[in-house]
Amino acid sequence: MGLCALCGMLQPRPALAYSSFGDYTRTIQEAGGGGRLFTGTPADGYGCDVCHRGAEGAKLEVLGLPVDGYLPGQTYELTLQWPVTTPHVALMAELADAAGRPAGITALAPYASWQMGERCEGSGFPAADVCRVGGAGSGCCRDLEGNRDACNFPGDRSVLWVPDCGSRFARLVWTAPSAVAGDIWFSTQMVTSDLQNDAVGDGVSSLRMRIRPAGTAPERSSAVSGCRAARGTRSGPLSLGLVLLSLVVFSLRSRR
């Protein structure tokens, strides 16, 4: 199963599942994604639910996000995990600015630390990869660099890609920009397959979360479509004012 499917062509036809990263970079005329990765960032404009539908998305948890704000040049390890009862999933995750431009450096966790749950079921082959679109050329670390621990693409659009092979979780290592770059968005899309080789009956889990520079108010809400991220909460003046107003109204009604 590929992460997203090509749809919306001029005439109705079965959706074409993408089983390799190269499918996303081929032109639409070649039945590819035309460079869209369907991560939900402004660079794409679409998520996987543009095609996949018919079932509820599985629970997706994202741990390690700097919900209190990122520090320039700081490195963060993020973990994306899904239920063990949902083995057939594929996902992409990306960090970008509000315009969809690459933000920081995305890389894999060191191979020496990989656990069985991060590997393909049966083969034990590492599941996750970091891939790029554009720049010096599109491709993934497993094809472009023998030592994937040292593989990253500074300045190019980079995504974490996890194909459907029975893994249970994935990790990425994100290094924040060397200087404050404003708000950064973490976006991920996960497809749960029903193994019918079409886009009907699949579930989609989506998450888009704003990560602000350290010292600014943290993001309050981020979870949509079956996803959950560890995040901070903070009461602002507006919420405090609503609480006080409610107390006043309650007091007046009690006196009647």
- The model's pLDDT over 2-17, given as tens digits with 9 standing for 90+, comes to 555 434 332 333 333 4
Dump pLDDT digits (tens) for 174-231. 999 999 999 999 999 998 877 777 777 788 888 999 999 999 876 654 444 555 555 4
pTM: 0.75
* Cβ-contact 5, 15 below 8 angstroms: yes
Output helix, strand, coil percentages for the chain, rounded to the nearest 5: 15, 30, 50
Question: Residue 77: is its pLDDT beyond 90?
Answer: yes
Q: Which residue has the higher pLDDT, 150 or 86?
A: 86
**What does the alpha-carbon distance between residue 253 and residue 256 come to, in Å, rounded to a whole number?**
5
pLDDT at 196 (0 to 100): 72
pLDDT at 250 (0 to 100): 30
**What does the alpha-carbon distance between residue 213 and residue 86 come to, in Å, rounded to a whole number?**
35
Task: Kindly state the tokens that stand for 182.
Answer: 């404003």
241 confidence band (pLDDT: 50, 70, 90): very low
Topology, domain 53-255: Immunoglobulin-like (2.60.40)
pLDDT at 58 (0 to 100): 85
